[in-house]
Amino acid sequence: MPSERLRLVYVGRDIELRIISLLVRAQEVAEEVILIDMGSTDRTVDLANEFGCQVLNYYDDDLTAPKLAKLIASSSIEQDYSNLIISVTSDWKLRELPVVVNRSRESWDIYLAFNNSVGNQELITEELVIESLDIDHLFLSTNGLNELAKANSMTSMLNFPKDLRVRVIESVEKINMPQRESLATASRFAQMFYWMLETKHPLFLFGIPGVVLFILGFRLSGNVVDTFNELNSVSIGVTLTTIAMTLVGLFAMMVALILYIMGKQVEQIQSQYGLTNYDDKIV
């Protein structure tokens, strides 16, 4: 069991805003990652393919553990992996991944955590029908995958072989720990600021310093005219400095706007003629 390679399997629909972060994080904890798509209408599948992630299609709206096991077992992917299957919903957070990954280190053949849809009613997990459970996450060893793929509509924990280590448990409510906000998530302005730093955006490199210099030069020029009543080397030097500061600020703002417009034009030409990856091809 512990020697088996781990495959992380995401199951979801229309998660294009999260798919890249999910795949990047999965590569840190698993040897392989695949996506089971439930009929996305956005760019989820395209982004996964661009990332190099294999995609399996699940055409049934009823998401059950036996059907997922049958899909994986009958697919062309390698079968000598243990599979950690996660149902990615709007309530599931990426910070829960380390806790879920620990299930792969507990030597279970089948570990099914399900969401309780009947409220506070006490459940006897040993008697629950596997196919009726709403999956939160599911861990399957190679033996567990094969056995679960054979399950029918009435299979419960008691129907599996006795030498198979099986656990079905209700998924407990996640503990919300206070999270520190990073620069990229603190606010919309912080996100834009971080993006400008990373991309070396001309509006940041030239525009903001230009605005600062222009405002300071303009404000100081009025004070200089009122302060110096006679013409000497000091007054001339200070006056020329404030004028130069104003002109440099104005020039920097113009450069920022020109570079920004030129960048947009280049992007439009590249997309029009299919030259988006032109630089990568040259390298």
- The mean pLDDT values, 10 residues at a time, for the chain of 283 residues are 79 92 91 94 93 91 90 90 92 87 86 76 76 90 92 86 89 58 54 62 73 78 59 66 81 80 74 56 41
Rg, C-alpha atoms of the chain? 30
Q: Is this prediction's pTM over 0.85?
A: no
Q: What per-residue confidence (pLDDT) applies to 196?
A: 61
Per DSSP, the chain holds a count of helices (H) and strands (E) of: 10, 7
Q: What is the pLDDT of residue 1?
A: 46
Nearest to 93 by CA among 175, 6, 182: 175
CA distance 192 to 198: 10
CB-based contact 191:184 (threshold 8 Å): yes
Measured CA to CA, the distance from residue 199 to residue 203 in angstroms comes to 11
Q: What is the pLDDT of residue 279?
A: 46
Bin 169: left if φ > 0, else alpha if -120 < ψ < 50, else beta: beta
